[in-house]
């Protein structure tokens, strides 16, 4: 069967269950589905978060995510994958990102999902502004996210 790759960047919310059903509908070659949903937190330690605002460069963001999706398809025997990333103002409890990978076997689905999330967290062309009750600031990259992504580089 043909692998299905879906990449969407959208302002509207998504339904993870509906997206998994769309990816797997009518497929008998899929034995494993791994999904990751990123959700806006209401706090970071003692710091309260009122909202996140995510910005992206239209066209470039989709192309970069597709480039990494194609790499995942080449590295692992996947039957398909879905990546949805929201932009705009997102409040605590709302969805931010969804990665779904499908394969005949679980290891490929798990590894591909981790690979894609590590890329999205460190290198995808999105900018995140965090609002609190009395201020807002751009969120910088974290060293532990860079370390997680580094394990996927090919020497």
pLDDT at 148 over 70: no
Q: Two tokens at 31?
A: 């034995």
pLDDT band at 121; cut points 50, 70, 90: confident
Instruction: Check if the beta carbon of residue 32 is closer than 8 Å to that of residue 109.
Output: yes
Instruction: Check if the beta carbon of residue 88 is closer than 8 Å to that of residue 58.
Output: no
CA atoms within 13 A on the CB side of 142: 8
Q: What angle do CA 13, 101, 121 make, to 5 degrees?
A: 65
pLDDT, tens digit (0-9, with 9 covering 90-100), for 99-113: 999 999 999 999 999
Question: Is pLDDT larger for residue 141 or for residue 75?
Answer: 75
| Domain spans, the chain | 4-149
Counting residues of the chain whose pLDDT is more than 70, the rounded percentage is: 93
Going by the DSSP 8-state scheme, the letter that residue 38 receives in this structure is E
Instruction: Check if the beta carbon of residue 99 is closer than 8 Å to that of residue 83.
Output: yes
Strand partners, 99: 36, 83
| CATH superfamily placement of domain 4-149 | Molybdopterin biosynthesis MoaE subunit (3.90.1170.40)
pLDDT, tens digit (0-9, with 9 covering 90-100), for 63-102: 999 999 999 999 999 999 999 999 999 999 999 999 999 9
Residues 6+ apart with CB under 8 A from 155: none
């Amino acid at each position: 069967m043909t692998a299905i790759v879906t990449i969407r960047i959208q302002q509207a919310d998504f339904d993870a269950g509906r997206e998994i059903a769309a990816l797997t509908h009518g497929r008998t070659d899929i034995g494993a589905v791994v999904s990751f949903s990123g959700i806006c937190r209401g706090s970071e330690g003692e710091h309260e978060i009122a909202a996140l605002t995510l910005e992206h460069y239209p066209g470039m963001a989709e192309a970069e995510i597709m480039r990494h999706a194609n790499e995942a398809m080449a590295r692992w025997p996947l039957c398909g994958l879905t990546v949805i990333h929201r932009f705009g103002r997102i409040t605590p409890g709302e969805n931010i990102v969804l990665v779904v990978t499908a394969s005949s076997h679980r290891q490929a689905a798990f590894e591909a999902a981790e690979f894609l999330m590590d890329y999205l967290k460190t290198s995808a062309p999105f900018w995140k502004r965090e609002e609190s009750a009395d201020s807002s600031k751009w969120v910088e990259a974290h060293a532990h996210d860079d370390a997680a992504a580094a394990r996927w580089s090919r020497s």
